[in-house]
Amino acid sequence: MTRFVASRLLGMVVVLFLVCLFTFLVFFALSPDPAVQICGKNCSPDRIDQIRGNLGLDQPFLTQFTQFLAGLVAGREYGGGTSVVECAAPCLGYSYQTAQLVTDMIVQRLPVTVVVAVGAAVLWLLAGVVGGLLSAVREGRFADRFIASLTLGGMSVPNYVLALVLQYLLVVKLRVLPFPQAVSFTADPGQWFLNFILPWTVLAAGYAATYTRLTRANVIDTLGENFVRTARAKGLRPSLVWRRHALRPALTPVMTLAGMDFAGLLGGALITETVFGINGVGKLAADSITSNDQPVIMAVTLLAAFFVVVGNVVVDLAYSAVDPRVRVGVAA
């Protein structure tokens, strides 16, 4: 087991290193010279050179890359002379445009992204699992067909459309929800919660549809398994047959997928955050793409990759805890 964990962790580090390398390569090769951008209109070649020097842009690719890695692990300094900016590890770079450290920008915005992701995940898991179970139990009947049409809708309506429609209906027309206001959780928890209802719902809708279908299919498949027949042949109570023999095998893959999807969302929900004006990592990504703030774009890319890779490993480990067949290091 420890070997399994160790090998997975090592693999994770390798993947993250490669992701770093490729993103760095892409931004190094493809983007216009940031120094020119920063310098603006009234600019002299000397000034550009100075900026390049301050940011380390005059160095060859490998040097820049190792500096970046070193900054990630141990921190680094930007600038020179009197205007030195200290960037503590994990240093993700320096945003030329906002004159801020990228790490700080992300740390500021990560909590709200986590709130969005957690809320949405709770919603879509509840809706998906309950909907899927209901569908499976009532297979072919009205409830099943009704849920099937809902999932079709959930899958086919783009979430920015859903966002605008719901906003218009619930906030503007029906006034069921208050107009969003910027409040902190501690100041007004009620308003804070209401602010998030729409983003959660919109973000969860598409996932909920997928999860409903997956749950339905898995439950129906599992109920047809021979071991469920064995369980019934043993004379177990139906509740026990369901709980122990049907749900566990049916829901394990659902949980696996949930782990991956959730990890993906921690990297920021671009569209939802932008539509609802939530200042999270997704909005940061969208804004920095618009303004071509390369260090930020790169950092957000890396962050998303980091969450996905870590999520993957966590899911793998969880799976091996749940499914004995995947357990490694146990002699057959």
Partner 1 sequence: MIADETLLRVRDLTVSFPVGRRDVPVVQGLDLELGKGRTLGIVGESGSGKSMTSLAVMGLLPPRAAVTGSIVFDGTELVGAGERRLRSIRGDRIAMVFQDPLSCLNPYYTVGTQIAEAYRSHRTGVSRRQARKVAVEAMERVHIRHAARRVDEYPHQFSGGMRQRVMIAMALCTDPELIIADEPTTALDVTVQAQILDLLEEVRQESGAALVLITHDLAVVSRVAEEIVVMRSGVVVERGTAREVFSDPRHEYTRALLDAVPRIDDRIEDLRAVPRAGRTTSGSVVR
- Return residues touching partner 1 (CB under 8 A): 225-227, 229-237, 240, 244-245, 248-249, 322-325, 330-332
What tokens were used for 32?
A: 């216009």
Residues 35, 52 contacting (CB under 8 angstroms): yes
Name the residue nearer to partner 1 (CB basis): 29 or 233: 233
CA distance 268 to 110: 8
Three-class DSSP category at 95: strand
**13 vs 321, beta carbon nearer partner 1:** 321
Minimum CB separation from partner 1 for residue 220, in Å?
13
Minimum separation from the CB atom of position 224 to partner 1 (A): 10
Check if the beta carbon of residue 131 is closer than 8 Å to that of residue 208.
yes
Least distance to partner 1, CB of residue 238, Å: 8
Q: Which is nearer to partner 1, 20 or 250 (CB)?
A: 250
Tally helices (H) and strands (E) across the chain: 14, 4
- Cβ-based nearer residue to partner 1, 174 or 331: 331
Inter-CA distances, 170 with 74, 144, 207, 277, 308, Å? 49, 27, 21, 17, 34
Nearest distance from C-beta of residue 228 to partner 1, angstroms: 8
Nearest approach, Cβ of residue 239 and partner 1 (Å): 11
Residue 148 has which token pair?
């099937």
Beta bridge partners of 101: 94
In whole angstroms, the minimum distance from the beta carbon of 249 to partner 1 comes to: 6
- 245 versus 283: smaller Cβ distance to partner 1: 245
Nearer to partner 1, 96 or 242 (CB): 242
Q: In sequence order, what are the beta bridge partners of 289?
A: none
Q: Identify the CA nearest to 124 among candidates 23, 183, 205.
A: 205
